């Protein structure tokens, strides 16, 4: 097959035929040294491997609990919760808006009872849990904290992350509820409350993952993610928080895409940019405030329904790029996720992929193995320069919130996505098994099916919770929350009170909707 005439990364950065010493910096700071290009720890995986955190959630809390126990037995080090769509946008399972979606793309969580079932038999002082939840993040965090209390675990000992990144929802993903300004208030309320009450829990995971899944380039992914991060830090400082108090608990979430060299360089550039931003713009003093810690997930958008076993190879290369780029935790997608939620076997293969990289490949035995590579160092510089140019444009528009409201980032992503789609359709970009090297009459793999009776079962369970709880206590808690929302109080104590009396996600969100309204495009 004839090779393409031009060679460039997926961000459009031209690739030279060969790189030499003129493309590499004369001095590279060591791993663990500012600006952390080579990693935030001097020993990296020689001291401790990345956290293998497989994203899982489907059907009911009981079903998902079984999958979590299975993954932990297989050697997984951390849990990552996928919530169903109604939970993500603040509706209960019995709401008319939830019809057909209960438990489909994640686990249905209506009340504290569901959260207790989700983590039954899993000691929350011994496991690190990540929750991919944004608009109602404060509510799900409150449920997690109360579940820990009921286990006899001090919330100060719980470990994990809530995504809590609302700006990228307006940009790329769409699971928002409230307008930007009250949403930013909820985020800074979580920052403030958790500094004292959950000091080991990351209060936000600023996400480029979904920006990339929406069609952005690698350059856009880190530029828009860092622009959002700047907005969150500015909001927290404006709310009276000291940067060195909350910045060490900020974390990031990136995509690991197909272009192996560009992805390694992307992670290195992002670390360097963030360290400089925190030191020079926000005058952070603590090294931990400047260190970009990130979780990575392999790229769901690259998975194909055709020849799904090919996805194992894609995921392996993407995971390897994440490790070579210095990730702190990693989720590897399963081979069948372009078709359905992963089967148990597929989930195990995805986890084994990480374990083989960790224990058999040798890449974890030395820090930043590609550091000093002519091509990697050159790409790191070029990605930083291109992303910096985007940051300047966003600054000129008034910052990330204003840029979102003006649709700037959304338009840039759409343009990039269209260009990619045209390249795929013209076979300028080859997708093995889809637009080249096809197989006729493929046999479909065995898929996981969510029980269609789940919705009825979940609604029945929700009705029982509502009939058994103290309705008067629920109403008082919701009224107090609504009143606090109309003033300047930190909302976390009021949300916790509502959760403790078994107010539901939908009821709490509806109380806030009455004050904040809903965001519409």
Q: How far apart are CA 64 and CA 153, in angstroms?
A: 22
Least confident of 61-75, 280-294, 306-320, 443-457: 443-457
Q: How far apart are CA 382 and CA 230, in angstroms?
A: 21
Residue 403 has pLDDT above 80, yes or no: yes
Inside any domain, residue 317: yes
pLDDT tier for residue 315 given thresholds of 50, 70 and 90? very high
Intra-chain end-to-end CA distance of the chain, in Å = 46
Inside any domain, residue 521: no
Q: Residue 410's Cα: distance from chain center in Å?
A: 19
Residue 488 has pLDDT above 90, yes or no: yes
pLDDT at 71: 87
Residue 331, C-beta contacts closer than 8 angstroms, at least 6 positions apart: 53, 54, 55, 80, 295, 296, 297, 298
Per residue in 180-191, pLDDT (tens digit) is: 999 999 999 999
pLDDT at 5: 60
Mean pLDDT, residues 155-171 taken together: 96
Per residue in 461-474, pLDDT (tens digit) is: 999 999 999 999 99
Mean pLDDT, residues 279-298 taken together: 98
pLDDT at 420: 97
Inside any domain, residue 86: yes
Highest mean pLDDT among 51-55, 71-75, 512-516: 512-516
Alpha helices in 98-202 (DSSP H): 112-118, 137-150, 167-168, 180-197
Inside any domain, residue 108: yes
Strands (E) in 315-376, as ranges, are 329-331
- For residue 486 the two structure tokens come to 């109309």
Residue 6 has pLDDT above 80, yes or no: no
Please provide residue 321's backbone torsions phi and psi, each rounded to the nearest 5 degrees: -60, -40
The secondary element (H helix, E strand) that includes residue 79 is strand 78-82
Q: Tell the burial category of 383 from Cβ atoms under 10 Å away from its Cβ (0-12, 13-18, 19+).
A: buried
Contact 263, 218 (CB under 8 A): yes
Q: What SS3 class is residue 329?
A: strand
Q: Tell me which of 105 and 119 has the higher pLDDT.
A: 119
The percent of residues above 70 in pLDDT, for the chain, comes to: 99
pLDDT at 1: 61
pLDDT at 16: 96
Buried b (16+ CB within 10 A) or exposed e, 457-487: bbbebbeeebeebeeeebeebbebbbebbee
Inside any domain, residue 483: no
Question: What residues make up the domain containing 65?
Answer: 34-425
Q: How far apart are CA 438 and CA 494, in angstroms?
A: 56
Mean pLDDT, residues 412-419 taken together: 98
Residue 311 has pLDDT above 90, yes or no: yes
Residue 451 has pLDDT above 90, yes or no: no
Closest CA to 423 of 12, 1, 17, 2: 12
Per residue in 130-151, pLDDT (tens digit) is: 999 999 999 999 999 999 999 9
Residue 77 has pLDDT above 90, yes or no: no
Q: What average pLDDT does the structure give for the chain?
A: 95
pTM: 0.94
Per residue in 192-201, pLDDT (tens digit) is: 999 999 999 9
Inside any domain, residue 99: yes
Q: Residue 257's Cα: distance from chain center in Å?
A: 15
The percent of residues above 90 in pLDDT, for the chain, comes to: 90
Inside any domain, residue 82: yes
DSSP secondary structure letter of residue 205: E
Per residue in 351-393, pLDDT (tens digit) is: 999 999 999 999 999 999 999 999 999 999 999 999 999 999 9
Return the CATH number at 298.
3.20.20.240
Per residue in 321-340, pLDDT (tens digit) is: 999 999 999 999 999 999 98
Number of domains in the chain: 1
Inside any domain, residue 519: no
Per residue in 241-272, pLDDT (tens digit) is: 999 999 999 999 999 999 999 999 999 999 99
Least confident of 78-82, 254-258, 423-427, 446-450: 446-450
Cis peptide before 35 (omega within 30 of 0): yes
């Amino acid at each position: 097959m004839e090779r393409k005439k031009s060679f460039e990364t997926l961000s459009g950065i031209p690739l030279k035929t060969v790189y030499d010493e003129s493309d590499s910096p004369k001095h590279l700071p060591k791993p663990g040294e500012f600006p952390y290009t080579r990693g935030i720890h001097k020993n990296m995986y020689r001291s401790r491997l990345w956290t293998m955190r497989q994203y899982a959630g489907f059907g009911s809390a009981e079903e998902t609990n079984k999958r979590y126990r299975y993954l932990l037995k297989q050697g997984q080090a951390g849990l990552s919760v996928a919530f169903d769509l109604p939970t993500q946008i603040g509706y209960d399972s019995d709401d008319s808006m939830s019809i057909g979606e209960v438990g489909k793309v994640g686990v249905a969580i209506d009340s504290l009872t569901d959260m207790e079932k989700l983590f039954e038999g899993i000691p929350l002082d011994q496991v690190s849990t990540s929750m991919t939840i944004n608009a109602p993040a404060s509510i799900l965090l409150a449920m997690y904290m109360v579940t820990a209390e009921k286990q006899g675990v001090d919330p100060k000992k719980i470990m994990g992350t809530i995504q809590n990144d609302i700006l990228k929802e307006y940009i790329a993903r769409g699971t928002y509820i409230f307008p930007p300004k009250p949403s930013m208030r909820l985020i800074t309320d979580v920052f403030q409350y958790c500094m004292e009450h959950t000091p080991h829990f990351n209060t936000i995971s600023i996400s480029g993952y979904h920006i990339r899944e929406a069609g952005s380039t690698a350059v856009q992914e880190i530029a828009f993610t860092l622009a959002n991060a700047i907005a969150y830090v500015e909001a927290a400082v404006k709310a009276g928080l000291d940067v060195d108090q909350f910045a060490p608990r900020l974390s990031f979430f990136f995509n690991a895409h197909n272009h192996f060299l560009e992805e390694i360089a992307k992670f290195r550039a992002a670390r360097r940019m963030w360290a400089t931003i925190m030191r020079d713009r926000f005058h952070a003093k603590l090294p931990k405030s400047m260190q970009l810690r990130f979780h990575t997930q392999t790229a769901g958008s690259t998975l194909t329904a055709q020849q799904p076993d090919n996805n194992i190879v894609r995921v392996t290369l993407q995971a390897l790029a994440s490790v070579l780029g210095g990730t702190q935790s990693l989720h590897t997608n399963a081979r069948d996720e372009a078709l359905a939620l992963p089967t148990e076997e597929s989930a195990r293969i995805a986890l084994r992929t990480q374990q083989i990289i960790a224990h058999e490949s040798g890449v974890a035995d030395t820090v930043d193995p590609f550091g000093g590579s002519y091509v990697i160092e050159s790409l790191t510089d070029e990605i930083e320069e291109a992303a910096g140019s985007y940051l300047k444009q966003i600054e000129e528009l008034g910052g990330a919130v204003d840029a979102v409201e003006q649709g700037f980032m959304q338009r840039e992503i759409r343009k990039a996505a269209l260009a990619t789609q045209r390249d795929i359709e013209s076979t300028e970009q080859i997708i093995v098994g889809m637009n080249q090297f096809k197989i006729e009459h493929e046999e479909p793999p065995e898929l996981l099916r969510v029980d269609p009776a789940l919705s009825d079962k979940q609604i029945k369970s929700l009705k029982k919770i509502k009939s058994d709880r103290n309705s008067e206590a629920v109403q008082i808690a919701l009224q107090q929350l609504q009143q606090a929302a109309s003033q300047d109080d930190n909302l976390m104590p009021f949300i916790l009170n509502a959760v403790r009396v078994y107010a539901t996600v939908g009821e709490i969100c509806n109380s806030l909707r009455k004050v904040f309204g809903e965001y519409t495009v």
